[in-house]
Structure formats: structure tokens, C-alpha cells
Amino acid sequence: MLGAASLLMFPALLFALFVGFPVAFSMIGVAFGFGYWAFGPSVIFQFIQKVDAMASNFVLAAVPLFIFMGAMLERAGIAERLFEAIHLWTRRLPGGLAIGTVLMCVVFAASSGVIGATETVVGLLAIPVMLKYQYDKGLVSGTICAGGSLGTIIPPSVVVVLLGPVANVSIGDLMFGMLVPGLLLAFLYILYILVVCIVWPKTGPRIPPSPDEPSFLEKCRISAIALWPPMLLIAAVLGSMLFGIAAPTEAAALGALGALFLSVIYGDFTLRVLHESLVKTLKVTVMILTILMAGNMFAGVFIAGGGVQTTEHFIQAANLGPWLTLGLFLFVCFLAGFILDWISILLIFVPVFIPIVKSMGFDPVWFCVLFLIIIQTSYLSPPMAPAIFYLRGIAPPEITIQDMFRGVVPFIVIQGICLAIVATFPQLVLWLPSVLLGFK
């Protein structure tokens, strides 16, 4: 009886969100209300334990470090130099500006791991140039939104730092497991842009040769100067984990130090820049960790109330089979992306789904990467669509909300194709961790 009643926590939470309560307070309120009804005053002690577990989880120390790294990169001028260098090589291709924008998003995402920072910086640089050469506004919008959200599935990723502890999976295994699917998704984006602009040239016209076109050697020189800073950060963050030198938290600290060091080299470091970066880091970190703590409370009450066992019984009674059940889980997360942000989806569904996924014999790392691809769709799926909200904040008036919604649809389809490929070939996820980390 108690287990079945715990399922009512989900509609109660959705009702609170629709009414307009903040996500964190909605989860805490529902958890407290149901927990007090089910367990009495002892639920207070359970909440205290959750707060203590959060405060003592050293892995979460990587969150503010990654956010600080992204905040400093916004100020260091790295993105602008990178933008110019990449477009030197891609501008003559059909849709070359859009292709270069995706490549820039890949490098910048691998340097910072913060999604909003990537999309904002890249969008401010790329949108005026693409509009100048009369790119289709839908393609401009879709490219910025989809490319900017690649930080979800290209390491290092703040999402993975939170997903690992919640799913009880190694962050290192997730970081390396998502690398190949992340690059595959970026490749599919580029392939789509190239095909569309070849078939319909007006969508993304080639840029005519310029009289002051730099020579091949000059292009190499500009690229070397622009690429070494993000490559240095990527080496500091991923390379230190790759060779077993640093744990994820230590690697994030190296990245934060590297971003600070680069801002000094480029002459962009001031006390004001440092202060603004620290304030932004504080605000974003408090928001994320408060929601994470609330999610742990919600999941703890749901599990203690027998919600997971009840869900397993329902699934067994439905006799769907392992693959249909897996598809149902991913479809539920996809639908949740229409109304919930990624942190809410992660904290509400992953603690419920992971035990069932393990019991069906699926690899939890593989499932987590599939979940990350679904999270990609939540960034683009209206009405929540945080990627579109980021774009609305920086886009000029001539790019309408209709252009944005029209532009993201093909990229959502591409994400579905990538999901099907990774689901069909699990070794795309499991091979790299097995080779580099001895993961089985």
C-alpha cells in the first residue's frame, strides 16, 4: 500500500511545478509531505543524513571548479580567436560557417564543460557572421542550439559530475564512455549541415574568396596560436584523467587553474573579471547543489517508501521485456524534457530507473550515456528548451522564436538517430573505458 502511494509523489511534484513553485522547493515540499505522512517525524533525520552526505561528497567539489573554468573562459578571449581560426578552414565549404560553428562548440565544450557558457559565447560570435552571409535563420538557430548543448555529452561535463554519484557509476567511466557518442553526434550535425547546404545552396552559401585571403602557412600560424589554449585545457582536464594522474575533482581544479592562467597570459585578467567569475560561479553552484540536495531528499523518500519495488512489480506484471522496458524509460525521460530541466529529470528518474536497468542485465554506464543523449533532446524540446532560452537572450530581433523552433527540429531527429546507433552498438560506449581504465 505504501509503495503504491509513493508513486503519487510524481504527479504531486508535477502539479507543484506547473503551479510555479521553484524546482528545489517543490521536491523538498513533496518529499517532506509524503515522508512525514509515511514515516512521521523520523523523516527529519533522513533529510539531515542526505544533507550530510551531500556536504561530504568530495566528487561534487568538481562542480564549482568546472563552472569557474567556464566563467573565466568567457573573459579570456579564447573563443573569439578560436572562432576566427576554425572558420579560416571551413568557410569555403557549403554551410562552412555553420560547420565551423559546430567544430568550435566541440572544442569549447571540451574546454569548459558548461553548456550555457558555450552557447552564449559561440552564439554572440557566430550569429552576426552567418546572418551577414544570408544563412537560413532556422539553420543558424538550430546550429547554435544543438552545437552549444554538446557540452552535455562531450567531456568534461558538469552533467556527468552530478550523474555519476546519483547513478552510483564511476565518473571516469562515464567521461570516457561518452566521448565516442559525443563526437558521433557532432559528426552527424556536420553531415546534416553539409548535405542540406549542397542540396539547397541558399540555406548556407559558400563564402567567395577574399582578396586578402591568408596563405596556407599563415592559416597554420593563426590556428596554432588560437588552438593551443583550449588544447592545453583539454590536456589538463582529460589528459590528467586519461593517464591516471588526477581524479575528476583534481582534473577540474587543473582546468580552473589553467583558465585563470590563460586569462593572465592574454592580458584579460583583472580583479573585476575575477570577481564577476567568482560571483557567477557561486550563483550557479548554489542553484545546482540546492536542486541536487532536494532531488536526493525526494529520491530517498521515494525509495524508502518502496517506490522502486512497486515500479519493478508493475513492469514485471506488464511483461514488456528488457528492451521494451528500456525504451519506455528513455521515452519517459524524453517526454519529461518537454516540461522539466535536465537536473530535475536526472534527479527524479535516474535513481528509480538505474536499479531496474541493472536487474535486467543492462550495463549502467551504457544506460547513462543513452540518458545523456536524451538530455540533449531536452535542451532543444519546447516549451522548456533551455538552449532556445539562451539563444533568445543573445539573438537579434530578425531571428524569431518560430525560426528557433523550426531550426531545432532536424537536430532533435539527428539526436534520435544517434540514440538508436548507440543503443544498437553498446561498444561505442564501453570500448574506450575498457581499454583506458580496465572497465568491464
Dihedral, CA of residue 407, residue 79, residue 134 and residue 149, to nearest 10: 0
Q: How many angstroms separate the CA atoms of 160 and 247, rounded?
A: 14
Q: What is the mean pLDDT of residues 146-161?
A: 81
Q: What is the 3-state secondary structure (H, E, C) of 276-337?
A: HHHHHHHHHHHHHHHHHHHHHHHHHHHHHCCHHHHHHHHHHHHCCCHHHHHHHHHHHHHHHC
| Arithmetic mean of pLDDT over the chain | 80
Give the number of other CB atoms < 10 A from CB of residue 242. 16
d(CA 314, CA 330): 17
CB-based contact 387:157 (threshold 8 Å): no
Q: CA 440 to CA 44: how far, in whole Å?
A: 39
Residues sharing a CB contact under 8 Å with residue 264, sequence separation 6 or more, in sequence order? none
Q: How far apart are CA 255 and CA 161, in angstroms?
A: 14
Cell of 103: 567544430
* 15 has pLDDT over 70: yes
Write down the H helix ranges in 133-270: 137-148, 158-167, 171-177, 179-199, 216-234, 240-242, 248-265
CA angle 7, 384, 108 (to 5 degrees): 115
Q: How far apart are CA 142 and CA 134, in angstroms?
A: 15
Cα–Cα dist 360/311, whole Å: 13
| 114: confidence class by pLDDT, cuts 50, 70, 90 | low
Cell of 141: 538557430
Cα 34 to Cα 36: distance, rounded to the nearest angstrom? 6
Cell 509531505 sits on residue? 33
CA distances from 438 to 98, 424, 425 (A): 38, 23, 19
- Better-scored residue on pLDDT, 125 or 363: 363
Residues above pLDDT 90, as percent of the chain: 12
Distance (Å, whole) CA 375 – CA 366 = 14
- pLDDT above 70 for 327: yes
pLDDT tens digits, 209-248:
777 777 778 778 877 777 777 777 777 777 776 666 777 7
d(CA 295, CA 311): 18
Considering only CA atoms, which of 414, 353, 428 is closest in space to residue 166? 353
pLDDT at 267: 76
- pLDDT at residue 152 is higher than 70: yes
Task: Encode burial over 157-169: b for 16+ CB neighbours within 10 A, e otherwise.
Answer: bbbbbbbbbbbeb
DSSP code of residue 207? P
Place of cell 596556407: 216
The residue assigned the cell 552567418 is 130
pLDDT digits (tens, 9 = 90+) for 163-209: 888 888 888 788 888 889 999 999 999 999 999 999 998 888 887 77
